[in-house]
Amino acid sequence: MKALIVGAGGQLGHGLIATAPAGVEIVSCDQDALDITDVARVQAYVEQVAPDVIFNAAAYTAVDKAEGDAERAQAVNGDAVGYLAAAARSVGAKLVHVSTDFVFDGSATSPYAPDAATGPLGVYGSTKLAGEQAAGSDMLVVRTAWLYGPVGANFVRTMLRLMEAHPQVRVVGDQVGCPTYAPALAAALWQLAERGATGVFHFSDGGQASWYDFAVAIQEEALSAGLLEKPVPIVPITTADYPTPARRPAYSVLDCSATYAALDRAPTPWRDNLHIMIEEIQKNG
């Protein structure tokens, strides 16, 4: 199998490269090598590579910035997905596109199934939903949430930096979701692609947490690993205490049962993957 990984410079792109099955030929590109908002360039690039599968790990992920940059967010998160899907069809390839919990409004009280009604609260979620629709039902769309990994900026690294530099840390406690380890998502994407899955799937690690819960766990794991010298108070605050340009879903736990059934395994608890992440930082910085 020959795979094209788009957005290879990000944390998911790195995860896809690191978890690639043996024998797979990988062609990877970042935004400097391929502007996915250029339809002609996308078509030419895909024809040149002639992959069997395209993983789209590229996205406009600056949630707050997107509120004032809707045109660019739509170009990257929405229109470009359609270009990749059309190019994939033209060479007989499958597109694996990654979406987000932000396509939901967060008003649910139980995990969102893949066929649950969508209702984005802002530009980022709306453009990601547009991307899902542009991909088409013959391709694979995998929604995930609260992604973090060894490479790039993410909540775990931000918390470690703040805990090292400040006498206390304030973290939102009334938004609930599930942290997802990027290499775990990447491995699942490979497995779903190999099984020929199409349509919409959900993937996150097992369990649920608030951002406050996640921060507490990060500090506990970091202290145990010696990444932090001493604990600092972590203060739970409300969403109203920390206003942002973009509204966040208050509840965005994804129902991943169909995905894990397709993978024929149980989910890894999010705390277990956080432990792996902290070990990675301890070894590699």
Q: Are 97 and 129 in contact (CB under 8 A)?
A: no
Q: Domain containing 254 — which CATH number? A: 3.40.50.720
Residue at 207: amino acid letter? G
Give domain status of residue 58, yes or no: yes
Give domain status of residue 223, yes or no: no
Q: Are 108 and 67 in contact (CB under 8 A)?
A: no
**CA-based nearest residue to 94, from 30, 139, 39:** 139
Q: Is 53 helix (H, G, I), strand (E, B) or coil?
A: strand
Q: Is beta strand 176-177 parallel, antiparallel or unpaired with respect to 209-210?
A: antiparallel
pLDDT (0 to 100) of residue 284: 85
How far is residue 211 CA from its own chain's centroid? 16
Q: Are 245 and 68 in contact (CB under 8 A)?
A: yes
Give domain status of residue 274, yes or no: yes
Residue at 115: amino acid letter? D
**CA-based nearest residue to 140, from 85, 183, 86:** 85
Torsion angles phi and psi, residue 199, rounded to 5: 95, -160
Give domain status of residue 255, yes or no: yes
Give domain status of residue 15, yes or no: yes
- What's the pTM value of the predicted model, to 2 decimals? 0.95
Give domain status of residue 181, yes or no: yes
| 124 a catalytic residue | yes
Give domain status of residue 225, yes or no: no
Structure tokens at 44: 């030419």
Weakly modelled stretches of the chain, pLDDT under 50? none
The 8 Å CB, 24+ separation contacts for 127-130 are 127/60, 127/66, 127/70, 127/73, 127/74, 127/76, 127/77, 127/78, 128/59, 128/77, 128/78, 128/99, 128/100, 128/102, 128/103, 129/99, 129/103, 130/74, 130/77, 130/78, 130/79, 130/81
Where in the sequence is the domain holding 155, given as residue range(s)?
A: 2-214+236-284
**Count of structural domains within the chain:** 1
Give domain status of residue 168, yes or no: yes
Taking the C-alpha atoms of residue 129 and residue 99, their distance in angstroms, rounded to an integer, is: 8
Residue for token pair 């069997």: 52
Instruction: Kindly give, in sequence order, each residue whose CB lies less than 8 Å from that of residue 134, ignoring residues fewer than 6 positions away.
Output: 78, 79, 81, 82, 85
Q: Is beta strand 94-100 parallel, antiparallel or unpaired with respect to 53-56?
A: parallel
Find the catalytic residue in 45, 124, 181, 212: 124
| Rounded alpha-carbon distances, angstroms, from residue 4 to 10, 50, 59, 131 | 14, 9, 16, 18
